[in-house]
Structure 1
Amino acid sequence: MENIYLIMLIALFALAVTDLVVGVSNDAVNFLNSAIGSKAVSMRTIMIVASLGVAVGAIFSSGLMEVVRKGIFVPGQFYFDEIMIIFMSVMITDVLLLDFFNSLGLPTSTTVSIVFELLGAAVSVALLKIYRGSGDYSILLEYINSETASDIIIGIFLAVLIAFTVGVLIQYITRLVFTFQYEKKIKYIGAIFGGISMTSITYFILIKGLKSIEFIPLEVKNSVTENTWLVILISFGFWTILSQVLMSVFKVNILKTIIVVGTFALALAFAGNDLVNFIGVPIAAWQSYGLWESAYQTTGVLPSAFSMEGLSGSVQTPEFLLILAGAIMVVTLWFSSKARSVVDTGVDLSRQGEGEEKFQPNFISRAIVRYSVLLGNAVSTAIPNKVLNKVDKRFDNSAFLNESRKIDAPAFDMVRASVNLVVASILISIGTNLKLPLSTTYVTFMVAMGTSLADRAWDRDSAVYRVAGVVNVVGGWFVTALVAFTAAGIFALVISLGGIWAITALLIIAAGLIIRSAVSHAKEARESRSKKRYNRQDLITINEITIETSKNISSVIEGINSRYTKAVDGLGYHDLTRLKKVNKSVDALDEQVDELKDNVFYYIRSLEENSVAASKFYILTLDYLQDMTQSIGYIVRNSYKHVNNNHKNLKFNQIRDLKSIDNQLQTFFSDIKVTFDEHRFRDIAKIIAEKQEILDHVSALIQKQIDRIRTSETSPKNTKLYFGILLETKDLISSAMNLLELFKEFYEDAQRQF
């Protein structure tokens, strides 16, 4: 009997390690966004500072399992075997849920997920217990503390609304004071700004970050609480003087100092307070096992008869586990690609300049933007033009946007990054002091969104995409609660009915899903790294334009060649599965060319005067590439449609003829790819000279099909598909020829210039 629960404990701690990894990957958005987005210091420095904050917070965390102490469920109402079922279902759900959000690159709350998982699992076990017992479901509330769940939901609304609103107001005022050309202003009022900022962060560390450190005497903690305003006043004076000294004597950029210290503070608070979200459940299970085992050795009580009243108190975590957990968190910070993916979402939604938008508009974002524009226009009419013009000058960000064209340029400046950290610190400190149930994820994310709105980062061209992103993220938070509650409840029911076999099956499924997610995300990360960045300032010379364009042509040609072959093979075997896969892959090719076209504006802006003539060449190149992708798209989609509709197979002679064309095209496209990959542009003339042979072959096949129709062909659907493929193949070849001739002409002109 003991062996079963020992196995469950081992599984729970294995899940805890996984949960630490996926949890840190998601919560990294809380304390890395501002530093990474502003590029105030190097990425290495950011990671070192964040790692120190996480390590210190984890080591000195009290390790109290707050979600149990706050009473999500009443432990005394459950027996040991039921408690273990609850904990197992919670951990499996948490790992899968957080990993899912990480894969999407969306930040969510680990606190909300663990709370609603505990609630869902406890409700499920309680309902099953009532069903097997009295059948009186009205006593369900005796098992569950419903007040905590309602407090969490209210906390979500308050955090979203207050954090966003305060972020907008503070950033608007700050930008009016500093403008985007803040270098001069910082010399005169930087010390005061530094004093306010560092005081806020210091207070945040005292109230939120270090409140759980055990070796600090209770008297000291109470003294800080009782003398809050004195602490704030002394801290403000000290930091203001120190800021002035650092700027005047040591020539230190005070904004960088604020960002570094703020990053450390948020990382410290995260590890010190959120660590228990990841390891609290296994620790509680461990303690539960210890309580039952002692009783079992003494009285022989069975797991199904041992009440868990002993869990009603706080659950203390051993120091060595805190140190181990901290080490895992630090390693995850350095090596998790999913952590960077989640951070990138927050940075992209708040960046000052234009760029590729991750989210697509929806009816909510369109409505919000539309009515916001109307409201803004109405307010503008009530304000004198002189005032509006002065305000517009304070928000002139043209210099920053010019700089943002550079590769690895910051997403926003250090003024906004400082405000993000300071406002988040203040709000979290106040919320903690007032014992409000808030989430650091919600606060930090919504502050960042508010400051970006106030900074006019969301203009008419980008607002609908950014708002859609915020709507998706905020909507995801509520989905977290719903899915966490439902999934944990279902898992708890399955485990209750299936026992150890159900646990084994769920663990295998969970492991398989996580491994699959990791492999898929790694593949996407590699593809993302291989993508070129088109708003770069270094694409300025004729030679660089030639190289960049040749890469684009090679990539698209390779994709077209592969899909054409797969489409013909799929038709030959009448293989719906194969055609379905290639049909889905066509969209990726379309998106590749669309992305190139989306960045034409930035490409042209990046050219020097003597290279501007290349703009027309680049635009025409993209036009021919789009013609080619449209042709292959028609071929693939109609082939898939034909087989999916269960039409007759193409005749053997038709497949043989298409395959002969495919073989010629493989050679043709392979030659083009090699030419552009190896920059053997002088070979283009030779490839062009061979085009007529392929076109003549296609024309001959068209005539052959005409003859078939008059003699043996009996299927109009086959004829339609076959003619369609041949005609689009002809267009595909023609577009490729036009592209090669355009490139040849451009290359020869470029050679004559040098």
Structure 2
Amino acid sequence: MDILFLFVIVFLLLLAVFDLSVGVSNDAVNFLNSAIGSKAAPFKRIIIVASIGVFLGASMSNGMMEIARHGIFRPEYFTFYELMCIFMAVVVTDIILLDMFNTLGMPTSTTVSMVFELFGATFVMALIKMSGGIEQGLSELLNTEKALTIIMGIFLSVAIAFVFGMIVQFVARMVFSFNYRRHLKWNIGIYGGICSTAIIYFMLIKGVKDLSFMTPDAKEWIGANTSLILGGCFAVFTVLMQLLHALKVNVLKIVVLMGTFALAMAFAGNDLVNFIGVPLSGLASYQDYIANGGGDAHGYLMNSLNGPADTPVVFLIAAGVIMVVALSTSKKTRNVSKTEIGLGSQQGGDEIFGSSRIARRLVRWTISLFYWVRDNTPRNVRAWFNRRFNIDEMIMEQGASFDLIRGSINLVLAGALIAFGTSLKLPLSTTFVTFMVAMGTSLADRAWGRESAVFRVTGVISVIGGWFLTAGAAFIGAGVIVVLMYVGGHWAMIGLAVLTIFIIVRSNRRFRMKKAEDDGDTLFQTILTTDDKTRTWELLLIYVMEQQKKFLRFAEESYGKITDAFINENAGTLGKTEASLLRSKSMLKNARRKETLCLRRVSHEMAIEKNAWFHLSNNCCMNVLYNLRRINEICREHVDNNFHPLPSRYISEFEVMRGHISVLFTEVFDMVNNGTSEQVPALRRRCDDIKDMLSDTYHRLYRQLREVDPSSMTVMYVYINMLQETQEMVSALRKYIRAYAKLHDSDFSSRKKGTVANQWGKVR
């Protein structure tokens, strides 16, 4: 049995390494997004600054693991075996939850996940112990006050951070405006002094004072002289920042990098327990059991966990190295960052989230309130605000999602709120505060326009819902797993360990596949950031054709699968095809939204000339998709009901028509792929011929319906409807060919477009 427990401890420590990597990927949004979104420095430089902060914070952390040792449960009432089940359940659930959220690109709270996993596993274990007739009640076995305090902190941090972010950004924008360089001459020194002092305050209150090298005397001196320290910092940094500005140094970039370092250091120093607290508590329990347990795992109580934790420095340094490596190499770090940056982007872009009913209502109410305020505000006041909030004067770095003013406000305000909440003993979550501050500042900055607000609000609601879903899933998941381990014994532990490894491997493989697909969309970002309007149209045409080529190939394959499945009565294929058609609909809508955003960046004359044909080509693709969905729907209903199959004499004539349609799809695809338009007249005539052939066939079938066996009447109606939808699909394809020709009929010859394509291939 002791060998089994050794295996559990080794497994916990190995998962701790992975948990550190996954946790850093999730929490990287807390300290990276503002610097990345504002382009304060190259990505590698931002990672270096954050990595130094993470390593110092982890290496000098006090290593106090009390919340994992006795913050949720009373260890003196639990045996070694029971705690091993609890710790194993917590780590397994935590890995699965965090990796799932990171893969989806949804930031969540590692603090909430760990606490509610401990709470859920301990709650279920307490119920098991109480059913066995122990004297202690639930209130004696659990520390429910801690969990309730954290829930209160969640509500407070979400609301307070959003409101303060909105107010502070509104005031900052009134002071600096979007053309902030005009107002930096004398304001930048004071602004830099305030920001730097707030960062120092954050590091003193939230970070440095809790590090391992801080003695009680040093902590007491800092507490007694906080006001003096902050006043001196403000004076020094104000003069320093004004001097740097006079020397042509961008003070705002320095402030953003300072804030990134401070948040990264505090994150590693304070949230380290979320990643390694449970495995190290399990190691301490095992060492105590081996030394004093006498082999009685089911009877030895873990009083030793009530003592203070003394984490060896080697563990802290190793944790710091792992976190730095994960931060530097993890692809999921950028995926989670993409969510927050996308929701707060100043310019239109790829909206990650869709539209929801509650978001639409909130936006509608907000617009009504805005109109009411506007109508009741004096004209000269409105004019003054419009000058200060003139987005056309916005100054941003090349490729940035927002400017340096907002980036610095995000970091400084998040740090100040976390420090203030900590001084009031409120358990504010770093993830919650930083995310909601970023959302509040983006709203105040008019980043949520009429055409993006509903998607942004849906995204915020989805992320907030994900936080609470984390708590519920962590509680229930850990509770279920601890029951399986307690009842199933060592076989259940081994089985769940294998299952965890399998889930991790599969999740990472799926993420790599999804990442490979996303990497192909770099051209979209290039179009949005280029300033050459003539080149924008050339790049957009390449982008549109690439998307439509993918759809044409998909449509041809789907039509073949649907018709084959109908002939062969394969209901499974029809079900899978229906799911793929729904996914294709979302992809088409997303591509159209992106392409419309890009079309706004071409020259006015070119936009007028190409706008109608651009939308016609998109509509034709959507019509083809609708035809495929209707064909699949009627075929699936027929096959699911086990009605009579299509008679063989009709199968042979249909296969001839399907062959012509397949050739048509192939030739249209080749034309788009080659970027030529010489085949357009011939292809349009071919479409007419196929439409006539289909029309003649189903009209002939209509006339023959009286002679058909009544038992085959149903399948004949399905067959006729399929032919009619196919004719509509060919008609949509004919219109697409015309739109394609008009898109290519311009001063930009196919030779020139090919040159641009070659240049883009070299850049990529």
Say whether the fold is shared (TM-score over 0.5): yes
Distance 2:105 2:166 in 1: 24
Matched-pair contact (CA < 8 Å) for 1:536–1:603: no
Matched-pair contact (CA < 8 Å) for 2:186–2:242: no
Distance 1:284 1:600, change over 3 A: closer
Q: Which amino acid aligns with 2:414?
A: A
Distance 2:676 2:452 in 1: 40
Distance 1:68 1:557 in 2: 55
Counterpart in 2 of 1:694? Answer: 690
Distance 1:545 1:233, change over 3 A: closer
1:345 aligns to 2:339 (yes or no): yes
Distance 1:158 1:391, change over 3 A: same
Counterpart in 2 of 1:279? Answer: 276
- Identify the match of residue 232 of structure 1 among 216, 230, 233: 230
Distance 2:550 2:295 in 1: 69
**Offset of residue 674 of structure 1:** 2.3
Counterpart in 2 of 1:102? Answer: 102
Which deviates the most, 390-399 or 602-611? 602-611
Distance 1:119 1:463 in 2: 37
Counterpart in 1 of 2:756? Answer: none
Distance 1:462 1:680, change over 3 A: closer
Distance 2:424 2:686 in 1: 79
Matched-pair contact (CA < 8 Å) for 1:69–1:312: yes
Matched-pair contact (CA < 8 Å) for 2:540–2:595: no
1:675 aligns to 2:665 (yes or no): no
Percent identical pairs in the alignment equals: 38
Counterpart in 1 of 2:547? Answer: 552
Distance 2:8 2:743 in 1: 68
Distance 1:581 1:37, change over 3 A: same
Counterpart in 1 of 2:113? Answer: 113
Counterpart in 2 of 1:563? Answer: 558
TM score, norm. by length of structure 1? 0.94
Question: Which runs of structure 2 are paired with 1:272-421 in the superposition (5 Å)?
Answer: 272-296=269-293, 300-400=294-394, 409-421=399-411
**Offset of residue 713 of structure 1:** 4.4
**Offset of residue 143 of structure 1:** 0.6
**Offset of residue 536 of structure 1:** 5.6
Q: Which amino acid aligns with 1:594?
A: K
Counterpart in 2 of 1:75? Answer: 75
Distance 1:522 1:644, change over 3 A: farther
Distance 1:382 1:733 in 2: 56
1:496 aligns to 2:492 (yes or no): no
Distance 2:471 2:442 in 1: 27
**Offset of residue 323 of structure 1:** 2.3
Counterpart in 1 of 2:705? Answer: 709
**Offset of residue 685 of structure 1:** 4.3
Matched-pair contact (CA < 8 Å) for 2:74–2:141: yes
Distance 1:263 1:713 in 2: 77
Distance 1:69 1:196 in 2: 39
Distance 1:377 1:741, change over 3 A: closer
Distance 2:159 2:746 in 1: 59
Distance 1:747 1:83, change over 3 A: closer
- Identify the match of residue 140 of structure 2 among 142, 157, 167: 142
Matched-pair contact (CA < 8 Å) for 1:563–1:636: no
Which deviates the most, 602-611 or 629-638? 602-611
Distance 1:99 1:549, change over 3 A: closer
Distance 2:426 2:322 in 1: 29
Matched-pair contact (CA < 8 Å) for 2:105–2:335: yes
Matched-pair contact (CA < 8 Å) for 1:657–1:701: no
Matched-pair contact (CA < 8 Å) for 1:539–1:545: no
Distance 2:542 2:453 in 1: 34
**Offset of residue 188 of structure 1:** 1.8
| Cα deviation 1:53-86 (Å, max 9, x = unaligned) | 1122122222221413662111111011111111
Q: Which amino acid aligns with 1:602?
A: L
Question: Which runs of structure 2 are paired with 1:440-589 in the superposition (5 Å)?
Answer: 440-531=430-521, 533=524, 535=528, 537=530, 540-541=534-535, 543-544=538-539, 546-589=541-584
| Cα deviation 1:232-277 (Å, max 9, x = unaligned) | 011111111111121112x111110011111111111111111111
Question: Which runs of structure 2 are paired with 1:173-188 in the superposition (5 Å)?
Answer: 173-188=171-186
1:220 aligns to 2:214 (yes or no): no
| Cα deviation 1:411-461 (Å, max 9, x = unaligned) | 111101100100011111112223221110111111111111221222333
Distance 1:232 1:519, change over 3 A: same
Distance 1:596 1:305, change over 3 A: closer
Matched-pair contact (CA < 8 Å) for 2:25–2:102: yes
Counterpart in 1 of 2:653? Answer: 657
- Identify the match of residue 170 of structure 1 among 168, 187, 205: 168
Which deviates the most, 525-534 or 171-180? 525-534
- Identify the match of residue 259 of structure 1 among 237, 256, 260: 256
TM score, norm. by length of structure 2? 0.92
3-state SS of the aligned residue for 1:187?
A: coil
1:26 aligns to 2:26 (yes or no): yes
Aligned residues: 744
Which deviates the most, 703-712 or 146-155? 703-712
**Offset of residue 386 of structure 1:** 1.8
Which deviates the most, 103-112 or 670-679? 670-679
Q: Which amino acid aligns with 1:290?
A: Q
**Offset of residue 576 of structure 1:** 1.4
Distance 2:583 2:286 in 1: 52
Matched-pair contact (CA < 8 Å) for 1:68–1:314: no
The unaligned stretches of length 5 or more in structure 1 are none
Which deviates the most, 279-288 or 60-69? 60-69
Matched-pair contact (CA < 8 Å) for 1:168–1:453: yes
Counterpart in 2 of 1:630? Answer: 626
Counterpart in 1 of 2:758? Answer: none
**Offset of residue 309 of structure 1:** 0.7
Distance 1:471 1:742, change over 3 A: closer
3-state SS of the aligned residue for 1:273?
A: helix
Distance 1:376 1:749 in 2: 43
1:208 aligns to 2:202 (yes or no): no
Counterpart in 2 of 1:37? Answer: 37
3-state SS of the aligned residue for 2:434?
A: helix
Distance 1:468 1:695, change over 3 A: closer
Matched-pair contact (CA < 8 Å) for 1:86–1:492: yes
| Cα deviation 1:559-599 (Å, max 9, x = unaligned) | 10111111112112211111111111112222233234334
Distance 1:107 1:683 in 2: 50
Q: Which amino acid aligns with 2:188?
A: G
3-state SS of the aligned residue for 1:303?
A: coil
| Cα deviation 1:130-184 (Å, max 9, x = unaligned) | 11224x6x71111111111111111111111211121112111111100000011
Distance 1:100 1:549, change over 3 A: closer
**Offset of residue 661 of structure 1:** 2.9
Distance 1:478 1:577 in 2: 36
Matched-pair contact (CA < 8 Å) for 1:631–1:729: yes
3-state SS of the aligned residue for 1:460?
A: coil
